[in-house]
Amino acid sequence: MSTGSRTAFCHDSVEQGGVGRICRCFHGWQESPGGHDRLRIVEVLSLNIKIQSRPDLLLLLSLLLAILLTPALNRVSWSRLILAAVTFVPIVLSVIRLAQIKRWVWPSVLLALANVIFVVAGNTFPSPTLTGIRWASLAAFFGLTAAGLFSYLRNSRTVAQAELYTAVNIYLLLGLLWATIYLAIDAFSPGSIRMGGDPADRQTELLYFSLITLSTVGYGDIVPLSGTARIVTALEGVTGVLYIATTVALLVSRFRNEIWEQRGTDKSKSYDYDK
């Protein structure tokens, strides 16, 4: 039995108060009187929670690092290679996280490989078409990853560190998703978006534009001009608002259910002791 399935099975057993059932999900465990098994179960579940939250934390740190380093590294050719390597780290961690939650692993692997191929091809044979395809494939990867993580978050029955990290990761992935869509639009149809700063640093400008649009700030220094760019920008603003509202409601609902279940468990324990 895998760690993920054990954790899910043990979580269900805790809710039903079955300590012996939890012990049986680990080979070689025997339920013993005196409450020693309960202590061992708590230690194992705490360790499993820490292990599960670690990939989400690493993914969060890698996404923040890639966003923060984009303005500094997106200048000359050699620094852009470093930026490509830094950007590839959250891609690898995203594939690992999708593999852990068993959602759309192979499509994400294929999209990641396609992105590597088009990055190499675009640097070898500079072409707006190859550049646009590269950003489009990366946008598909970020969209797939965000959808997979949101599916995991929606089906999660607890609110722990892993779920909180996942919620932030999805938000940052949405920002990167729309940034790559804008970059693809700009590659296929130059002039669709009017830049407010350095026109040569388009990746930084459009990443900045995506993040402020997702957060519905909108300073107005970057303006979408074409119809496609305007519609995509409007969709990002709507997505940002809906995601915050949906995720907050989802997490609050899960947390409230946990409190009610805990109160029910405490009452049942008190009733057993009184008897």
Residue ranges of domains in the chain, CATH in brackets: 52-274 (1.10.287.70)
- 17: confidence class by pLDDT, cuts 50, 70, 90: very low
pLDDT (0 to 100) of residue 252: 85
pLDDT (0 to 100) of residue 264: 59
Element (DSSP H or E) covering residue 223: strand 223-224
Phi then psi dihedrals of residue 157, to 5 deg: -105, 0
Q: Over the stretch 90-125, which tens digit does the pLDDT of each residue have? A: 999 999 989 888 878 888 899 999 988 988 888 788
pTM: 0.76
What is the SS3 assignment for 19? helix
CA-to-CA distance for 41 and 133, rounded, in angstroms? 50
pLDDT (average), residues 173-192: 94
pLDDT (0 to 100) of residue 265: 59
Q: Over the stretch 24-60, which tens digit does the pLDDT of each residue have? A: 444 444 444 544 544 554 454 454 545 455 788 999 9
Q: Over the stretch 226-252, which tens digit does the pLDDT of each residue have? A: 999 999 999 999 999 999 999 998 888
pLDDT (0 to 100) of residue 62: 94
Question: Long-range CB contacts (< 8 A, 24+ apart) of 64-67?
Answer: 64/172, 65/89, 66/90, 66/176, 67/172, 67/175, 67/176, 67/207, 67/211
Neighbours of 223 (CB within 10 A): 13
Element (DSSP H or E) covering residue 18: none
